[in-house]
Structure 1
Amino acid sequence: MDRIDRKILHELQLDGRLSNQELAQRVNLSPSPCLRRVRRLEEEGMIQGYTAVVDQKAYGYPLTVFARIALERHDTVTVLEFERRVKEIDEIIDCFMMTGQRDYLLRVVAASLEDYERFVRQTLHTIPGIGSIDTSFAFGVVKRSPALPPLSPR
Structure 2
Amino acid sequence: GYPRPTEAEWAWSARSTEAAPLRFPWGDQLPPPDRHGNYADRAASNVVGRIIFGYNDNYIVAAPVGSFLANPKGIYDLGGNVAEWTHDFYEIPEQMEAVDPLGAEEGDYHVIRGSSWMHGTITDLRLSFRDYGSDGRQDVGFRIARFAE
TM-score tier (shorter): under 0.3
Higher strand share: 1
More helix by share: 1
Query: Under a length normalisation based on structure 2, what TM-score does the superposition of the two structures give?
Result: 0.22
With structure 1 as the length reference, what TM-score do the two structures score?
0.22
Based on CA coordinates, which of the two structures has the bigger radius of gyration? 1
